[in-house]
A and B are shown apart, each in its own frame.
Chain A
Amino acid sequence: MKTIFEKSVAGREGCWPCEGLAEEAYIPTELLRDGDIGLPSASELDVVRHFTKLSQRNMGVDGNFYPLGSCTMKYNPKFTEVVAGLPGFTRLHPVLPQLQGAGGLCQGALEVMYETEHLLSEITGMHAYTLHPMAGAHGELTGVMLMAAYHKDRGNKKTKIIVPDSAHGTNPASAAIAGYDVVTVESVNGIVDPDALAAVLDDEVAGMMMTCPNTLGLFETHLPKIVKMLRKVDALLYYDGANLNAIMGKMRVGDVGFDIVHLNLHKTFATPHGGGGPGSGPVGVCEKLKQFLPISRVAKQEDGQFYLDYNHPKSIGYIAPFYGNFGVVLKAYAYILRLGGVGLTRATENAVLAANYMRKRLDGHLEVPYDRICMHEFVASAADQAKKGVRALDFAKALLDKGHHAPTIYFPLIVPESIMIEPTETENKETLDHFIDDLIEIAQLVDTNPEALQAAPVTLPVTRLDETKAARGMELTDDL
């Protein structure tokens, strides 16, 4: 499909933003650019049609089952968009509450933040939250910065952070960017093993980043023991909230001893992912870490008025220009209010039910390396099929042809040819059955018609794309 630039005709007018046109040149010529910029020149209809057609070349939860493991692609309720689009929120300038006497002009927005922080605290058993991190990985970085601030304050000399081999790639990257050395601990039977941990744990460890259930969808049964081991060396335990959808109402990470947690509102709390963001990655902490949270903090006066509090001398400072992705936070707040405590627990229960149902139905058709009760997701392996020339990648592409978005593949790294399936609670049984039937059919084709699978997809706007050519050619814009 042609780009909007290829469809442009110089001089063609789009929407007129405003009447009146400045005649006077207010800025000297030597400070101005020459010639045309090369922005699109198309009619409004041309633009609407172009982007409508582009959207039709995309899969999304609204149109397709999207069991992308570790991404919790649940249905995004439409009413939350209405809420986030209220002019009373969208038109609010973020600097306003920082002006003298103007806090009273944003009480509604400050209340949303205050209430959301408290709801997230209760859901996870943490002492306090910041809503500033703008995505999960941004939350991780914030969390590691909090660890650093804690140890600095205590006079601890810490240089290392432990990350299990099953962790998301963002975990080691976040730790490294904050200036720590990353130490990997290997899993045993799919979970963190206390003996393996003991072998790498010493006084120089600042903390450990874990997710529970882990990326294999398995519950970390040694958790209480791990907490004790870390406490002994004054190391902090970090919870990657990517998998919170598995435990709401069943376990609170604060209660079991996690010190820092980030949540992904765009996963567990149903805000749309937008094809790669905006997300929101609030960070919760235990009591002793509250003083280090980023500023500003939203607080409540005795008379019930909300205000921004900057008076936290031990704070790590500013990790966002203002208060995070407020528009995303609004949607998550509306979702939590809609579901309530019972609804959140039901979401978790049904997410775990759906994952186990699919895991069991797949039995005998595709290998499931850790075949026991899983949480909200499970990992299958196409290692056997790969010996016959059909890889996890081919399964993924064949599923696209059947109208499903593919599961996550080749992650976690510890399972060869992994296919990571996360159905979520919002998909009906027919959809789950349909997907499994299709997956079984694909598995059967491995012996009878592997070429067809290797050639998939054939029903989408494009077939497999040449990634090597993309990397070598470096055509990153219409001009290169």
Chain B
Amino acid sequence: MPYVPHTEDEVREMLATIGVDSIADLFAEITDDMRPKSFDLPEGLSEMEVVTKLEAMANKNATDRTSFLGAGFYDHYIPAAVDALTMRGEFYTAYTPYQPEASQGTLQAIFEYQTAVTRLLGMECANASVYDGGTALYEALMMAVRKTKRRKIIVSEALNPIYRVMLESYTSNLDLEFVTVPHKDGMTDIEGLKAAIDGETAALLVQNPNFFGSINDFTELFTAAKAQKAISIVSSYPVLQTLLKTPGDMGADIAVAEGQSLGLPLSFGGPYLGIMTCTKKMVRQMPGRIVGRTVDSEGRTGYVLTLQAREQHIRRQKATSNICSNQSLCALRAIVHMSALGELGMKRAARVSIERAHICADRLTAIDGVEMLTKGPFGNEFAITLPVNAYEVTAKLTARGVVPGFPLGRYYEGLENGLLVACTEKTSEEQIGIFAEMLKGALR
């Protein structure tokens, strides 16, 4: 039997030690009325057969298309060192580091991850991760609700709609009031958000760059929130954050991010990485694991899970969150990725991605009837308006080998002709050229 080592003799010996005659005796408490009504599963396969079957299934997925899809999830280059190091069994076959002396590898790596993401986002504290960027936003929102004891949440409509629908689901049984401030032609409506903040506001949720790719400075907005004692939460994009003014510099209380772009493959939606950072003032409201530095009984530096009085295994129903397993190996990938590229490589990836996006925007808007929807500065993603329905164009181009982007009409009424286009350092000028030509042909 695969992965069961006992020989028949050994099983007999073990049964004799236990003092029963058969394995069936061990299950005697499961009486007949509780036995399975069916257990109709396929016969086991050899390792080779399973791999062959899965290879065939993988081949049914078209990954040979040139893709300009982003929408918060980007295809950045991952250095080979990331796989080589994170696939070490000592890392990936370990459990949560409950025994710190036997888990210094995981713990120090997470400490280094916490250091890197706080520096990237200009914040003071980070946890060891949550599931993804969306659950990070939800947890951030709940931190704000607990901290302020208020129930009004102000959300920019230019915040990723994939996350906005998640927030709606998570809070549907809670007594919270959501105020969504509409985007203004793809721009975050800073004045509208400011006007919505009042003395009842628990949290303000914005994104930078916003879903349409537009880059903002939220300093004034966060100052306005602070004046009403509301918590400012911003969702960031880690790769661009190597260049952009940080949430910390803008005065955010909590900054979260989807960490997928830091060394995680797209992998059809997961596993990804929820990055959570905050000010020191907010840290006791933070959910999940946090690693801290300390010393051992000999005075040597070591690392432990700390501030555990916030957590479910200690506080049960009074915990800050129910989270237990997080995305530890993904956080490890992120710190290895950031280390392998280093400060200079990370910035280079960001700058090249931005350059490609600007070249792409120029090429596309040179086509008759194609206009920029994103106004003002943008990074590696931008929205355009087509003279026709973007869904149809997307279908047409995808069939010809280029996935042109994300049709905005899926989430934004009135933007049926809008298309969100992303580039990374992997996008070549040749690919941009083919895309532009193809789009031109499709619109003719």
Contacts and interface: CB of A to CB of B under 8 A. Distances in A.
A140 B134 CA distance: 18
A81 B83 CA distance: 11
A196 interface: no
Please list the 10 inter-chain residue pairs (A to B) with the smallest Cβ-Cβ separation, ordered nearest first: A88-B58, A322-B269, A274-B329, A62-B89, A317-B169, A340-B44, A276-B328, A341-B41, A14-B342, A58-B105
Interface string A156-189: 0000000000001110111111110010000000
Nearest to A461: B104
A204 to B, nearest CB: 15
Contact of A89 (B88, B268, B324, B358): B268
A244 to B, nearest CB: 13
Contact of A86 (B58, B72, B124): B58
B207 interface: no
A393 to B, nearest CB: 10
B169 A100 contact: no
Interface residues of A, number: 203
A400 interface: yes
A427 B5 contact: yes
Contacts of A449: none
Interface in B1-37: 1-6, 10-11, 13-15, 17-20, 23, 25-30, 33-37
Contact of A426 (B4, B126, B301): B4
Nearest to B295: A466
A48 to B, nearest CB: 6
B88 A32 contact: no
B54 interface: yes
A343 B115 contact: no
A291 B288 CA distance: 31
A277 B343 CA distance: 27
A71 interface: yes
A337 B268 contact: no
Interface string B303-328: 11011100111111111011111111
A296 to B, nearest CB: 11
14 contacts: A26-B354, A88-B63, A92-B267, A96-B69, A100-B391, A170-B312, A251-B30, A318-B165, A318-B168, A321-B133, A326-B268, A347-B4, A356-B26, A361-B17
Interface string B33-74: 111111111111111001101111111111101010101110
B325 A275 contact: no
A135 interface: yes
Nearest to A273: B95
Contacts of A11: 344
B84 to A, nearest CB: 7
Contact of B58 (A57, A89, A338): A89
Interface in A1-37: 1, 3-5, 11-18, 20-22, 24, 26-28, 30-33, 36-37
Contacts of B29: 219, 221, 373
Given A39-B120, A137-B322, A319-B170, A252 B61 contact: no
Contacts of B187: none
Contact of B296 (A22, A339, A411, A466): A466
Given A93-B75, A137-B325, A462-B101, A321 B313 contact: no
Contact of A15 (B1, B79, B319): B79
- Residue of A71, A82, A122, A462 contacting most chain B CB atoms (<10 Å): A462
B395 A275 contact: no
A95 B3 contact: no
A207 B43 CA distance: 36
Contacts of A471: 292, 306-308
A275 B269 contact: no
A324 B60 contact: no
A31 B330 contact: no
B253 to A, nearest CB: 16
Contacts of A455: 297
A108 B58 contact: yes
Given A321-B162, A357-B18, A463-B296, 9 more contacts: A27-B244, A31-B216, A39-B343, A102-B395, A140-B322, A338-B47, A425-B3, A425-B4, A477-B114
Interface string A91-112: 1111110111110111111011
A58 B269 contact: no
A137 B340 contact: no
B440 interface: no
B407 interface: yes
A86 to B, nearest CB: 4
B298 interface: yes
B41 A344 contact: yes
Contacts of B216: 31
B47 A12 contact: no
A404 to B, nearest CB: 9
A169 B314 CA distance: 7
A101 B395 contact: yes
B182 interface: no
A107 B134 CA distance: 26
A34 to B, nearest CB: 8
A56 B72 CA distance: 35
B47 A79 contact: yes
B306 A40 contact: no
Given A79-B50, A357-B14, A470-B292, A58 B4 contact: no
B346 A39 contact: yes
B243 A274 contact: no
Contacts of B318: 176
Contacts of B317: 172-173, 175-176, 182
B394 A99 contact: yes
B60 to A, nearest CB: 3
Contacts of B1: 342-343, 346, 350
A44 interface: yes
Contacts of A148: 173
Given A176-B318, A328-B270, A476-B306, A464 B403 contact: no
B349 A346 contact: no
Nearest to A102: B398
A256 B351 CA distance: 59
B115 to A, nearest CB: 4
A40 B343 contact: yes
Given A48-B84, A59-B94, A320-B131, A37 B242 contact: yes
Contacts of B217: 30-31
Contacts of B170: 145, 319
A33 B122 contact: yes
A478 B115 contact: yes
Given A176-B317, A276-B97, A477-B126, A319 B169 contact: yes
A256 B34 contact: yes
A270 B292 CA distance: 30
